[in-house]
Structure 1
Amino acid sequence: MASKNQGSAPRALVVEDIKVDCVILLRMLHKLNCEATVANNGKEAVDLFLEGKTFDIVFSDKDMPLMTGPEAVAKIRAMGAKVKIVGVSADFGGMEAFMQAGADVFLPKPMKLETLESMLQEVTSKKNMSA
């Protein structure tokens, strides 16, 4: 079993405008030893990438003010950012919008801790292999 501090902690970007959803996701990520940054809408998320910030995984909500999740995903992909992007929505119609925008995975809300854990393990193992 690999030790918890092998490699660096995965860095996640949480793009979510609903405070409660954001807090729940942050708690789960914290429990999984993940460093998390919050953007309150798609525009803030895109701005972080424009500033040169890097993340291993992005969890993006769909419907947000200023810029939706799928719009942000398309812009982040257009920048060539190598990051796993997870579209998250309670709206099943969101899956198509996220996948067309370039997201890697779609997860319905509410997310489960086990699902998050397996995704983080996947990005961490890829990160350790490429390091």
Structure 2
Amino acid sequence: MASPVKVLLVEDTRVDALVLLAMLRRFHCEIIIANNGKEAVDLFLEGKKFDFVLCDNEMPIMTGPEAVEKIRAMGETDVKIIGISSNNNVREVFMTAGVDVFIPKPLKIDVLGAMIQEVINKKNNAMF
């Protein structure tokens, strides 16, 4: 049995976080929540490793794109980072910051599932 996909959920809106948590649990992910970009960056600075990061845009202290830029600057190139926002105008900002994909909210479970499956496949292939 492969180890669960480790997901960092960076989301400051409680309702959104709960919805995303419920979705991620359906894929048996191991989930850590950061309430803002700084908390996310701090987790990477502590040496924590993730397979997948779901990162919201607008947050207190440090925005999603700022956090993504800092995480990428640390050399974290293997982690798949997904920028999410209800504001479709931030796609460019997220892409410039270094996300792999931008997805507008609300996220659809099949889209999220396909991305998690892609990460699982990559992990499984890395084992052989």
What's the TM-score, normalizing by structure 2?
0.96
Task: Give the residue type in structure 2 aligned to 1:40.
Answer: N
1:63-92: CA deviations, max 9, x gaps? 000000000000000011120000000001
1:12 aligns with 2:7: yes
How far apart are 1:103 and its partner, in Å? 0.2
Shift of 1:12: 0.5
The percentage of counterpart residues that share the same residue type is: 57
1:3 is matched with none
- Is 2:48 the counterpart of 1:53? yes
Task: Say yes or no: does 1:76 pair with 2:71.
Answer: yes
Shift of 1:94: 1.3
* Runs of 4+ in structure 1 over 2 Å off: none
Normalised to the residue count of structure 1, the TM-score between the two structures is 0.94
* Cross-structure match for 1:31: 26
- CA drift of 1:62 comes to 0.2
Aligned: 1:67 with 2:67 = no
Task: Deviation per CA, 1:77-118: give whole Å up to 9, x if none.
Answer: 001112000000000111111000000000010001101110
Residue in 1 aligned with 2:94? 98
Q: SS of the residue aligned with 1:95? A: helix
User: Where in structure 2 are there 5+ consecutive unaligned residues?
Assistant: none
Q: In the alignment, residue 103 of structure 1 is paired with which amino acid? A: V
Other-structure match for 1:109: 105
Q: In the aligned structure 1, how far is the partner of 2:43 from the partner of 2:80?
A: 15
The 1-side partners of 2:94 and 2:48 are apart by 22
Structure 1, gaps ≥5 residues long: 1-5
Question: What count of residue pairs does the alignment treat as equivalent?
Answer: 126
